[in-house]
Amino acid sequence: MPWLDWCETKMHLAGYPEPVVMLKSVLLSLCLAATFCVAAQHRSNNRRLEKELHAAIKEWSAVGLSVVAVKEGNIVYKQHFGYQDKEKKIPLNDQTIFRIASISKSFSATAIMQLIDEGKLSLDDDFGKLLGFAVRNPKYPDKVITLRMVMSHTSGVNDSQGYFNLDVINPSRNPDWAKCYSDYEPGAHYDYCNLNFNMVGAVLERQTGVRLDAHIRNKIIKPLGLYGGHCVDSLDATRFATLYAYDSTRSMFVVSPEAYAPRREALAHYELGYTTPVLSPTGGMKISAIDLARYMMMHMYDGTYHGVRIMSAESARLMRQPIADQEGYGLAMRETSDVIDGVTLKGHTGTAYGLYSAMFFDPEKKFGFVVITNGCLPDNSPDIRPLLRKSMAILYKHIIDTDFGSSVIE
């Protein structure tokens, strides 16, 4: 401690007796004792936190749970419980990659906002003109469906005919294309729809001439120093978290192998700007909880992470600005007050193949959470699953809303 050395030097020069100089040792001992006390309180707080998380895991019979808390631009807590692969007894860890489901939509939207920043697109563009075939509700033929509507789920497009290919809504390929549109006027209501973002991914490819996975890897993943992507064969499969769907008829968890289906045959005959749903821009991103937290911090800091700007601050804020006010949904981001009483968070959730994921943050107070389970008991919640909500509330109580949760991990 330099200031103690300085005091000792001054005391010697002033001719103070040795007992006074001994004050340095006393002060140093007090500082070390205080540091030890804080560290002990920190460990005790974390033990209480993990005890509560274990109770939530047990309540919802989770196969595995990864949690990350960030505060003021840093990861301040991370922990993994349970298994990456239950049968092989491989535990979850920092390197585990999850298919994060609908949080993937925010990656597709971020890539679109980058093009808007470059002046290549506008949120008010006619979406059909961007996609290459008419996207118009036959009940409202004169009402333009815009890129903004599609990205905010207010387009009036629905998933009734499926969303794994664009043929379902293409008038030249499907005689029942009109069933893809709801009865209300475009822009009038919110209706969550996966087909919306599979179409957004196709627009991204048409505008850039680059396949979706490569574009997002080059423009988002690599600049942020992350590891992840949409294409299974481009990633280390030993890191994939096995996903477990709950079979209520047999009261057991079953493996969902289709979560990481490589779709090699479809990719071999890929049609840029049309067969994009093969890569699932609506839900196909695979990434670790740690790297997802780093990506989240980029959004928290208005498009910048550790000095690397991914998008403009204006675009980052616009993504999380509600368009569908009642639901709080913006552009692949939504706001919610259902996690922590009195706190409004921004982010997204994901559900697929037994996985449940959540990424939520406070852009004003600069904290946030990533919580992912690769299998737990299902329930009837239409929104954030109870295990995820409970986990984030526990993290908030013990890590954010306390003096003992601010130790920076990285």
Laid out side by side, the sheet with 64-71 consists of 90-91, 74-85, 64-71, 367-373, 355-362, 343-352, 334-340
pLDDT at 409: 72
pLDDT at 2: 52
Q: Is residue 163 predicted with pLDDT exceeding 60? A: yes
pLDDT at 38: 45
User: How many C-beta atoms surround the C-beta of residue 345 within 10 A?
Assistant: 25
Q: Is residue 28 predicted with pLDDT exceeding 60? A: no
pLDDT at 34: 43
pLDDT digits (tens, 9 = 90+) for 310-331: 999 999 999 999 998 788 999 9
Q: Confidence class of residue 3 from pLDDT cuts 50, 70 and 90? A: very low
Parse the chain into domains and list their residue ranges: 1-59, 61-103+211-400
Q: Confidence class of residue 36 from pLDDT cuts 50, 70 and 90? A: very low
Distances (CA, A) of 386 to 19, 70, 389: 62, 21, 5
Least reliable range by pLDDT among 45-49, 174-178, 374-378: 45-49
Name the pTM for this structure: 0.90
Residue owning tokens 């949080």: 103
pLDDT digits (tens, 9 = 90+) for 186-228: 999 999 999 999 999 999 999 999 999 999 999 999 999 999 9
Q: Is residue 7 predicted with pLDDT exceeding 70? A: no
pLDDT at 408: 79
Q: Is residue 385 predicted with pLDDT exceeding 70? A: yes
pLDDT digits (tens, 9 = 90+) for 274-290: 999 999 999 999 999 99
pLDDT at 381: 73
Report the alpha-carbon distance of residue 248 to residue 218 in Å, rounded: 41
Letter string b/e over residues 294-318, b meaning 16 or more CB atoms within 10 A of that residue's CB: bbbbbbbbbbbbeeeebbbeebbbb
Tell me the two tokens of residue 257. 């192998």
User: How many C-beta atoms surround the C-beta of residue 113 within 10 A?
Assistant: 25
Per-residue DSSP letters for 204-220? HHHHHSS-HHHHHIIII
How many percent of the chain have pLDDT more than 70?
88
CATH topology of domain 61-103+211-400: Beta-lactamase (3.40.710)
